Amino acid sequence: MIKKLIRKILGVKEKHDPSRPQILSAAEHGIDPALVSPHALRVTQTLQQEGFAAFIVGGAVRDLLLGVKPKDFDIATNATPEQIKKLFRRAFIIGRRFQIVHVMFGQELLEVTTFRGPANGDAPKDEHGRVLRDNTFGEQHQDAARRDFSVNAMYYNPATQEVWDYHLGMADIRAKTLRIIGQPEARYREDPVRMLRVVRFAAKLQFKIAEETRAPITVMAPLINNVPAARVFDEMLKLLTSGHALACLQQLRSEGLHHGLLPLLDVVLEQPLGAKFVTLALANTDERVTQGKPVSPGFLFAALLWHQVLEKWNAYKAAGEFPIPALHLAADDVLDSQSDKLALQRKICTDMRDLWAMQPRFERRQGKTPYKLLEHPRFRAGLDFLELRAASGELDTELAQWWRDFYESDGPSRESLLQQKPREEGAPPAKKRRRSRRKSGPRSEGQAEGPRAGEAS
């Protein structure tokens, strides 16, 4: 204590010891307890009553410190998965790489994990050094050292309202900085998904990435290719539905990280029309997330991959295939080429195919055909997709506007729309870019152009 005081007076900087937390009081961290989920409180209380240590941890603490209501809560404890499971009625042990316990209260899911020990040298790894399985339990400070970024390694005890900070996360929160814990290259090698995570957090929190944390990414990005496709898919989906997908993308591009890191986007971003289309789709998705509306992964991935489909579709048509079979062949090719990198679930693939297959049907505006298309269960999404195509300059906006009018009209008006001689009917879709001729018709519930579309590059 006296040593500490003397050092302080002399202005000697205390060397930080990551095995000892800095304990911050309520007055120092300023967390509003009202933002804590009552179920998270119940879990920590139950564990503590049984004599275990229990803290809210990870992203929830980070968000609480930023004054944001966390979307979900993770709990860390020294109780083992079996011990945790016994204390809650609806608790399930899941996970292979790490065993965790899912505790359910109604719709709310809480993830409860046992403190992890230091990565065991004998833990099975792939040939690139990625840890495949490691379930060693440990002390709280060891658990902190295994977390990804300093701002994600803080522990909040709602009973005492203390925050235990092992890696100077509070200082990084104040400096709005993301800093990986430990040696950056080693941490990315252990788990390359951390490279995607840092970009997502930077865009979502509007934090900068510390230089040592950012520097190795360009070189190490290809390691993402060795991560199981299902995990990349989960992380990509988190990124795309974070409400900051466009900012993530812009950050990736400005840091030169979009090559290799997000294989899916490599191709898309090379083509001017593709980039505009993706930008509009993401701006629109962000808008929906901000408004608390649901986002369909099928729509999102259909949009991201559309320009690849378009390119292949044209190639098949040029080779003499009829348009509809050509589109199906193109869809098969694109979905097949993605499946090894990105495990798109069957339901998502079906939605994507539906959306794509509907597109040529919008070109037929006579007789009973438009009425049939209206009955398609995914018509609304199909129309939103069509509107995105028009807004990106791929199609004449008149076609999208006609469908929007047709959809929103009643019987007699629909008939008169059917009588209209559509402009350029029968001509191939306009290839030239039409800029800012979009009519400001009524907006759909779905994925029409968002207000940030002006940021398109």
- Binding residues (CB under 6 A) for ligand ATP: these are 58-59, 72, 74, 147-148, 152-153, 191, 193-194, 238
- Taking the complex as a whole, how short is the minimal distance between the CB of residue 60 and ligand ATP, in angstroms? 6
299, 240 in Cβ contact below 8 A? Answer: no
Residue number with CB closer to ligand ATP (21 or 58): 58
What does 152 bind: Mg ion, ligand ATP, none (CB cut-off 5 to 8 Å by kind)? ligand ATP
Is 74 a catalytic site residue? Answer: yes
- Taking the complex as a whole, how short is the minimal distance between the CB of residue 73 and Mg ion, in angstroms? 8
Alpha-carbon gap, residue 251 to 249, rounded angstroms: 5
Report in angstroms the alpha-carbon separations of 315 from 308, 322, 327.
11, 11, 10
Of 63, 134, 148, 165, catalytic? 148
129, 194 in Cβ contact below 8 A? Answer: no
Alpha-carbon gap, residue 426 to 205, rounded angstroms: 49
Residue nearest Mg ion (C-beta atom): 59
Is 72 a catalytic site residue? Answer: yes
Residue number with CB closer to ligand ATP (164 or 316): 164
- Would you call 155 helix, strand, or coil by DSSP? strand
Residues 20-59 vs Mg ion: string with x where CB under 5 A?
A: ---------------------------------------x
Of 72, 333, 354, 405, catalytic? 72
Alpha-carbon gap, residue 356 to 350, rounded angstroms: 10
Helix intervals (H) in 228-322: 229-240, 245-254, 258-261, 263-270, 272-290, 297-318
Alpha-carbon gap, residue 348 to 304, rounded angstroms: 13
Using CB under 5 A as the binding rule, whether residue 216 contacts Mg ion is answered as no
Using CB under 5 A as the binding rule, whether residue 151 contacts Mg ion is answered as no
Residue nearest ligand ATP (C-beta atom): 59
- Taking the complex as a whole, how short is the minimal distance between the CB of residue 235 and ligand ATP, in angstroms? 9
- What number of chain residues touch Mg ion (CB under 5 A)? 1
Residue among 175, 143, 160 at smallest CA distance from 152: 143
Residue number with CB closer to Mg ion (59 or 382): 59
- Taking the complex as a whole, how short is the minimal distance between the CB of residue 272 and Mg ion, in angstroms? 37
Relative orientation angle of helices 379-391 and 297-318, to the nearest 10 degrees: 60
- Taking the complex as a whole, how short is the minimal distance between the CB of residue 32 and ligand ATP, in angstroms? 18
Is 332 a catalytic site residue? Answer: no
Residue number with CB closer to Mg ion (173 or 373): 173
Q: Kindly list the catalytic residues.
A: 72, 74, 148
Which positions touch Mg ion (CB under 5 A)?
59
